[in-house]
A and B are shown apart, each in its own frame.
Chain A
Amino acid sequence: MAESEAQLKARMLGSLDGDAAAHAALLRALVPLLRSFYRRRLRGTEEDVQDLVQETLIAVHTRRASYDRKRPFTAWLYAVARYRMIDHYRQRRLSVPIEDVDDIFVAEGFEEAVTARLDVDNLLNTLSPKQARAIRETRIDGKSVAEAAVDAGIGESDVKVSVHRGLKAIANRIRGA
């Protein structure tokens, strides 16, 4: 059975006070929590789960000073676990599974989201202003073709053609790059 926040926190405080038994009990209690945290996110690769659990235990051990006693322990633990997972992917140069991307954007601040946005802007800047505008309005800002046509003062078929040609040009560019 998983231990509660209060139990875990009590063990963590013991560990911070130098109680080796509390420390060992804490780490043991974290194993099932971390295992299910990583299993839910890694899907199937049991070896990676094992590695990550152990790396996280080591991080909990060596970076205890970064825990604020006044704050919930599990929030700290999962923040450490999430970072270890991102670093794990980074090392292996794999991409993060798509289901987690949104969570990670939220947790990691907007840096990645901004970078993604900049990439899109860079690509759109390679197109003609008309095509870029048509794509931005219909595909990113979520306007309808009719609204985009009115905004730009052009016909609806013109918007559709611009989007189509623009996307094609971007696709070619990405393939060529």
Chain B
Amino acid sequence: MMMTMDTQQLIESLSKDVPRVRPDALARRIGFGIVGGGLVTTALVTAVLGVRPDLQVAMQGFSFWMKWTYTISLGVGTIYAVARLARPTPTSLHPLWLMAVPVLLLAGIGIGELSRTPPAQWLTLWLGRSWMICPWLVLTLAVPIFVGLLWSFRELAPTRLRAAGAAAGLAAGAWAATIYCLHCPETSAIFVLSWYSLGITLAAGTGAVLGPRLMRW
């Protein structure tokens, strides 16, 4: 077998540094990226926006947990997508349809809410007090988590860069929304369904645009 000098030298130099790779290295790498970014986002929420003063009371109520269940289940689903797209081998993303479940559940709660509210107040219920800034805050807060995931991907091997970018954006958006719940006092399901989801979708779209550029290797 002929091997050029160059290649031989390359192999020798690469073999000088062979750290052990744990079996769960991929999951840990993605986890560190999200947690690292999430800490920055949490710091931003507490320092810049401020934690809602009634958080302790709110945490005993339904709407806080409704919001968290929604954003956390989306966050868990997208981590699954990110982990699959971080490997180079072709993969099916069909199980992601399960993410429709939290969306539909929240829509169901929203319909219940509307039926209990006089139509004259529907607009207030839908727009809350912060509909204009909520999606943008979620998008902004997603940035540190997205950056964390970019770090994760540096040792991983995504081959569908647009999909990987979108999944990373979606994960960043869902976890940013989860952390944003510490600040946001809105309570209605249709508010969350509309404006949280819009912010998360914006993050996913931004990720899809940036993925091919930032995740190349």
Interface residues of A (CB under 8 A from B): 15-21, 23-24, 27-28, 31-32, 50, 53-54, 57-59, 61-69, 71, 75-76, 79-80, 82-83, 87, 107-109, 111
Contact B160 A79 (CB under 8 A): no
Q: What are the residues of chain A within 8 A of B25 when measuring CB–CB?
A: 65
Whether A32 touches B159, Cβ cut-off 8 Å, given contacts A57-B10, A68-B87, A76-B87, is: no
Whether A66 touches B18, Cβ cut-off 8 Å, given contacts A27-B11, A87-B216, A109-B90, is: no
Chain B at the A interface: SS class? loop
Give the contacting residue for A27; candidates B4, B14, B21, B87; CB below 8 A.
B14
Q: What are the residues of chain A within 8 A of B160 when measuring CB–CB?
A: 108-109, 111
CA distance A83 to B26 in the complex (A): 19
Expressed in whole angstroms, the minimum distance between the Cβ of A93 and any Cβ of chain B is 14
Q: What are the residues of chain B within 8 A of A21 when measuring CB–CB?
A: 15
Contact B159 A83 (CB under 8 A): yes
Interface size counted on chain B using CB atoms at 8 A: 33
Expressed in whole angstroms, the minimum distance between the Cβ of B88 and any Cβ of chain A is 4
Give the contacting residue for A50; candidates B6, B16, B26, B157; CB below 8 A.
B6
Contact A57 B216 (CB under 8 A): no
Contact A24 B12 (CB under 8 A): yes
Chain A to chain B contacts (Cβ below 8 Å), 25 pairs: A17-B21, A18-B18, A18-B19, A18-B20, A18-B21, A20-B18, A23-B18, A24-B14, A31-B3, A31-B7, A50-B6, A50-B7, A53-B7, A54-B7, A57-B11, A58-B14, A59-B157, A63-B155, A63-B156, A63-B217, A65-B156, A68-B89, A75-B89, A83-B159, A107-B90
CA distance A73 to B217 in the complex (A): 20
Residue of chain B at shortest CB distance from A69: B23
Residue of chain B at shortest CB distance from A62: B155
Residue of chain A at shortest CB distance from B89: A79
Expressed in whole angstroms, the minimum distance between the Cβ of B138 and any Cβ of chain A is 27
Q: What are the residues of chain A within 8 A of B89 when measuring CB–CB?
A: 68, 71, 75-76, 79
Q: What are the residues of chain A within 8 A of B162 when measuring CB–CB?
A: 111
CA distance A21 to B155 in the complex (A): 22
B192 at the binding interface (Cβ < 8 Å): no
Q: What are the residues of chain B within 8 A of A111 when measuring CB–CB?
A: 160, 162-163
Q: What are the residues of chain B within 8 A of A87 when measuring CB–CB?
A: 216-217
Top 5 A-B pairs, shortest CB-CB distance? A18-B20, A79-B88, A24-B15, A66-B157, A65-B25
Residue of chain B at shortest CB distance from A18: B20
Expressed in whole angstroms, the minimum distance between the Cβ of A79 and any Cβ of chain B is 4
Give the contacting residue for A24; candidates B11, B29, B156, B157; CB below 8 A.
B11
CA distance A54 to B86 in the complex (A): 22
- B156-193: CB near A (< 8 Å → 1, else 0) gives 11011011000000000000000000000000000000
